[in-house]
Amino acid sequence: MFYLPTRIIFGENALKDAAPHLALGKRALIVSGRSSAVKSGVMSELIPLLNELNIEHKIFAQIVENPLTSQVIIGKEVFLEAGCDFIIAIGGGSPLDAAKAIAIAAANDLSEDELYQLDLHEKSFPIVAIPTTHGTGSEVTQYSVLTHSKTKKKAGFGSDLNFPQLAIIDPRYMTSLSPKVSLHTALDALSHLLEGLYSLSRNEHLYPMIYRGIRLIVDNLSLCLREPKHLPARQALALASLYGGITIAHTGTTLQHAIGYPFTSAFDIPHGLANAMFMNVMMEFNQPNIEGIINQLFEAIKMSKEEFYHWLESFPIQIKVEISDDEEERWIDEILGARNIAASPRVPTYEELRTLIHSVKKGV
């Protein structure tokens, strides 16, 4: 099965090319972070185009990293009060994910505690997604990952209603990313591609895309960090991120993602970095159950597993954190209860998960 209801326009000047498809309504709510939409250069090109197309707009630039459910409800109220009828989401995964939830909340008049009740998701408003990072692939997925304002628990929900109708991907909008954000978002995309192979819902039709995406990251990430304005390198990482998004839209994520969420919530460790912290140990943990798939991967990308580990460990991802025993027990219960565990090729026991967590625990 292959399902992707999003029109994708990729490359330099993609926004201009997307103009004939941009009018998904008459008044747009522009959802973004506090600075990325301006810093990336999107807004300076978008606003004149909206004016040219006679599309009114309202700006909601309040989304923070790891967006809160309370922000979604504020965005919903702004959307309805302004009389908007579609959303243009600009930024990394946080604004894109928040925009999906705002569209669902506004269309179905949901409260904060109803956001995860999929039986209440009957309709949505159209979304245009313009990513400014090369990480989440959220512009082509049905997922929205939020942090609950009260519990501080990070969790996602997925619905076909969440798919953006239009994805506009221009690597020029990514050249202003800092080296840290560039690294962390690319590692997030790498995790998505690997989890497409780990997942019990893996799809062999995606394998060529997965292999190419991984190779694009391996070949271009260091260059991008050295030369942030190197457009071909940015384009390669943007394409890898797109491949990663398409992959997890079909396969979902696995334990690789679930184990990173508590570290993001508790320590504000960027999502991609939290994934990367466990990337090697998760591959080793999964390999006994999918050895043929792992071997096929490294044969396809013409790289040994040891070379891959050496490449990955050349980046600053070795982070040790202090976790109390009580916190550790709570996290283990939370991780084992995560939905994406079900797609994992190997589900850890309580003690196995404790050992995995200890791989990044300070002093262990």
Percent of the chain past pLDDT 90, that is, above it, reads: 77
Residue 1 has pLDDT above 80, yes or no: no
In sequence order, the β-bridge partners of residue 100 are none
Buried b / exposed e over 337-356, threshold 16 CB at 10 Å, is: ebebbebbbeebeeeebeeb
The stretch 333-341 carries a mean pLDDT of 89
Q: pLDDT of 201-257, one tens digit each?
A: 999 999 999 999 999 999 999 999 999 999 999 999 999 999 999 999 999 999 999
Fold of 7-173: Rossmann fold (3.40.50)
Q: What pLDDT, in 10s, does the model give residues 238-254?
A: 999 999 999 999 999 99
What is the residue extent of each domain of the chain? 7-173, 177-358
pLDDT of 364 higher than 50: no
Q: What are phi and psi of 363, to 5 degrees?
A: 85, 0
Lowest mean pLDDT among 162-171, 249-258, 262-271: 262-271
Lowest mean pLDDT, pick from 78-82, 200-204, 225-229, 334-338: 334-338
Q: Are 356 and 278 in contact (CB under 8 A)?
A: yes
Q: Cα–Cα–Cα angle for 61, 88, 238, nearest 5°?
A: 95
Q: Indicate whether 326 pLDDT > 90.
A: no
* C-alpha to C-alpha distance for 68 and 76, rounded to whole angstroms: 13
3-state secondary structure 277-327: HCHHHHHHHHHHHCHHHHHHHHHHCCCCHHHHHHHHCCCCCCCCECCCHHH
For residue 363, the model assigns a pLDDT of 44
Q: How many helices (H) and strands (E) does the chain have?
A: 16, 8
Asked whether the beta carbons of 249 and 226 are under 8 A apart, the reply is no
Mean pLDDT (whole number) for 12-36? 94
Instruction: Give pLDDT tens digits for 102-147.
Output: 999 999 999 988 998 999 999 999 999 999 999 999 999 999 988 8
| Cα 158 from Cα 250, distance rounded (Å) | 11
From residue 38, give the alpha-carbon distance in Å to each of 44, 171, 174, 176, 203.
7, 15, 12, 10, 38
Other C-beta atoms lying within 10 Å of the C-beta of residue 249: 26
pLDDT tens, residue by residue, 141-150: 999 988 887 7
> Alpha-carbon distance 127 to 129, whole Å?
6
pLDDT mean across residues, the chain: 93
Q: What is the pLDDT of residue 362?
A: 61
Q: What is the pLDDT of residue 38?
A: 86
Kindly state the average pLDDT of the residues 181-208.
96
pLDDT grade for 23, boundaries at 50, 70 and 90: very high
User: Can you give the pLDDT at residue 64?
Assistant: 86
Give percent of the chain above pLDDT 70.
Answer: 99
Q: Which CATH superfamily is domain 177-358 in?
A: Dehydroquinate synthase-like - alpha domain (1.20.1090.10)
Give me the half-sphere count of Cα atoms (radius 13 Å) on the Cβ side of residue 174.
35
Q: Cα(261)–Cα(296) distance, rounded to whole angstroms?
A: 29
